[in-house]
Structure 1
Amino acid sequence: MNYVQPIRDPEILSDIRDYLRATCYRNYIMFLLGTNTGLRIGDLLKLRVRDVTGTHVSIREQKTGKTKRILITPELKRELEIYITGKQPNEFLLRSREGINRPITRSMAYKILRSVADEFRLQEIGCHTLRKTFGYFFYLQYKDIALLMRLFNHSNEKVTLRYIGIEQDTMDVHLKRFKV
């Protein structure tokens, strides 16, 4: 399994959002959900329209079995309201074009993200990139590693810092200035 990275550049994130919004709104919503909630792709794919109509997304995490409740940010709420207009409550949010009411597969989510990576010449991008991007910017904004650790259900702070790429960033900064 390849190790994926967060998208660290806010300008590239903005460009990706614009690109996806213009090309496929469903893929745009997937990207926004992942980068604004920090949910794993498997949990995102299980969401139905009814799950995003309130103030929070409430789910039972597929991996951990734990219940999680996440506030829907104002930007995400606005975009979701546009997207779900006219959709049935039981409809999958990230609905596949195949079948009657099925979500896209994890494989399709990966293909979507890989095509974005190719378009923007990004390396080490995969399904976990969305979750890691959320964590990376959450940490930069709040510097609250303990809260982020709880949001991710990680066992310790070091795991979380490595997961979001902060540990690698720190090593890179120090090695740039290193001289023998």
Structure 2
Amino acid sequence: MESVEPIRDKEVLKNMRYYLKETNERNLVMFELGIYTGLRISDILKLRVEDVRGKKGIKKEIKLIEKKTGKEKEIFINPILKRTLSEYTKGMDDIEYLIKSRNGKNKPLGRTQAYRIIKELGEMFDVEDLGTHSLRKTFGYHYYKKTNDVALLQKIYNHTSPEVTLRYICIDKDSIRKAYRDMRYY
């Protein structure tokens, strides 16, 4: 299995978002769902409009059963993602998948195609080692950098220890790189 990295540079994230907003709204929604919720791509791809749209707009939280763990998870939608979802779902039926494949009438995008989209985005913006899990890792990486709250992030990810969480979001790699970069004898 190939190891993927988070998108560390906020300016790159902003540029990626702008590019997706201008070129492909569906891919923008997939991207933002990943970086703002930390959901696995398998859970993102199974979301339907009814999962994110309430009677008076978008619900404050999404309740879903994680595919990998089988545990119920409550996802809160921040204002940026809420706005994107609100615009995107206008005129869509509740039964429609949010991230629809172009093949078939109402089928979700496949994991392989989602991977290709993210990988291509990485190549366009010169970001190495990107894959669908990079979106989930990006959420955790930036949350941790902002708060240093590994305990809550561990709980969000359902990890068994803080060490697993830090390794998962590549903080260990950053620390090792910094140790080599900052080493000075004179």
1:122 alignment partner in structure 2: 127
User: 1:83 aligned to 85, 88, 103, which one?
Assistant: 88
2:131 alignment partner, SS class: coil
Question: What letter corresponds to residue 74 of structure 2 in structure 1?
Answer: R
Moved more, 51-60 or 22-31: 51-60
Question: What letter corresponds to residue 149 of structure 2 in structure 1?
Answer: D
Q: Does 1:2 align with 2:2?
A: yes
Residues paired across the two proteins, number: 180
Where structure 2 has 5 or more consecutive residues not aligned to the other structure, the ranges are: 54-58
CA distance in 2, matches of 1:18, 1:11: 11
1:22 alignment partner in structure 2: 22
The two structures, once aligned, show a CA RMSD in angstroms of 0.9
Question: What letter corresponds to residue 8 of structure 2 in structure 1?
Answer: R
CA distance in 2, matches of 1:126, 1:133: 11
CA distance in 2, matches of 1:74, 1:25: 17
Question: What letter corresponds to residue 134 of structure 1 in structure 2?
Answer: F
1:68 alignment partner in structure 2: 73
Runs of 4+ in 1 over 3 A off after TM superposition: none
CA distance in 2, matches of 1:67, 1:26: 25
CA distance in 1, matches of 2:17, 2:126: 15
**Cα displacement (A) at 1:179:** 5.0
**Cα displacement (A) at 1:178:** 2.4
Summarize deviations over 1:63-103 as a string: whole Å, max 9, x none.
00000001100110011000000000010000111101100
2:64 alignment partner in structure 1: 59
Summarize deviations over 1:50-75 as a string: whole Å, max 9, x none.
11111111110000000000110011
2:16 alignment partner, SS class: helix
2:103 alignment partner, SS class: coil
Q: How does 1:20-169 map to 2 (within 5 A)?
A: 20-53=20-53, 54-169=59-174
CA distance in 1, matches of 2:168, 2:61: 25
CA distance in 1, matches of 2:173, 2:63: 32
**Cα displacement (A) at 1:158:** 0.4
Moved more, 59-68 or 166-175: 166-175
Question: Given the two structures, how large is their TM-score scaled by the length of structure 1?
Answer: 0.98
**Cα displacement (A) at 1:176:** 1.2
CA distance in 2, matches of 1:19, 1:143: 30
1:68 alignment partner, SS class: strand
**Cα displacement (A) at 1:177:** 2.2
CA distance in 1, matches of 2:174, 2:164: 14
**Cα displacement (A) at 1:142:** 1.2
Summarize deviations over 1:89-135 as a string: whole Å, max 9, x none.
01000011110110000001001001101111111000100000000
Question: What letter corresponds to residue 120 of structure 1 in structure 2?
Answer: F
CA distance in 2, matches of 1:179, 1:118: 34
Identical counterparts, % of pairs: 46
Question: What letter corresponds to residue 182 of structure 2 in structure 1?
Answer: R
Where structure 1 has 5 or more consecutive residues not aligned to the other structure, the ranges are: none
